[in-house]
Amino acid sequence: GENVEQHPSTLSVQEGDSAVIKCTYSDSASNYFPWYKQELGKRPQLIIDIRSNVGEKKDQRIAVTLNKTAKHFSLHITETQPEDSAVYFCAARMEYGNKLVFGAGTILRVKS
Amino acid sequence: NAGVTQTPKFQVLKTGQSMTLQCAQDMNHNSMYWYRQDPGMGLRLIYYSASEGTTDKGEVPNGYNVSRLNKREFSLRLESAAPSQTSVYFCASPGHLTQSEAFFGQGTRLTVV
């Protein structure tokens, strides 16, 4: 079955710096890779996603890159702000309706 | 349009008691999932249902049962609760091919004493 590994487990950056979180997946058939942000005591919320036919996707300060050959994908947050502080999860899914498997999460702290 | 509605929000059980967590979605989605979230463990899939009438085990199914009552509802049952099942439980439902993101319910904080 699918296995998703996420690094680092914690990340501290200075406000205005960039943050990068990396994930690897095991099942080469996976074709959908979302990223979620979870604030303390709240439900996870989708922030960006990418499909296997795309190498990079950007939405304002957030971007995701995908390397299907190496089976890894990354989240990039530029110009970080204190409100970006949260837990971030990557996930992978083989096809629609199949299992959506999550990484263990990254605690991001943005210091002002 | 409430999205994914999950009840209850909090629950305390004694070891050996049973309970059912309810989840309903009003987005006409086919798939629904149940996850548990423990500190440092991320979101682990308990069971999922790809469509009405089908259910499949996830990563951590032991001690749980599920029912996909209809397209809207997907319930999670603990037959004999154990302290190891203390966790936060989330129900989720992804969209269709063009909108595949999973929408999460508000979560259930379950404590088994």
What is the spatial distance between Cα B25 and Cα B54, in angstroms, rounded to a whole number?
16
The full 3-state SS of chain A, as one line of letters, equals CCCEEEECCEEEEECCCCEEEEEEECCCCCCEEEEEEECCCCCCEEEEEEECCCCEEEECCEEEEEECCCCEEEEEECCCCHHHCEEEEEEEECCCCCCEEECCCEEEEEEC
On whether the CB atoms of residues A97 and A112 are closer than 8 A, the answer is: no
Give residue B57's identity as a one-letter amino acid code: K
Check CB contact of A100 with chain B, cutoff 8 Å: yes
Distance from the Cα of B28 to chain A's closest Cα (Å) equals 13
Under the banding of pLDDT at 50, 70 and 90, the label for residue B95 is low
Distance from the Cα of B9 to chain A's closest Cα (Å) equals 12
Pairwise pLDDT comparison (A82 vs B98), residue with the higher score: A82
Phi then psi for A84, rounded to 5 degrees?
A: -80, -10
Of B30, B42, B97, nearest to A89 by CB-CB distance is B42
Check CB contact of A25 with chain B, cutoff 8 Å: no
Tens digit of pLDDT per residue, chain A (112 long)? 778 999 999 999 999 999 999 999 998 888 889 999 999 989 998 899 898 888 999 999 999 999 999 999 999 999 999 999 999 999 998 765 578 889 999 999 999 9
Check CB contact of A45 with chain B, cutoff 8 Å: yes
Q: Which chain A residues are closer than 8 Å to B42 by Cβ?
A: 6, 89, 102-105
Structure confidence by residue, pLDDT tens digits, B32-68: 999 999 977 789 999 999 889 999 999 999 999 999 9
Q: What's residue A66's pLDDT?
A: 96
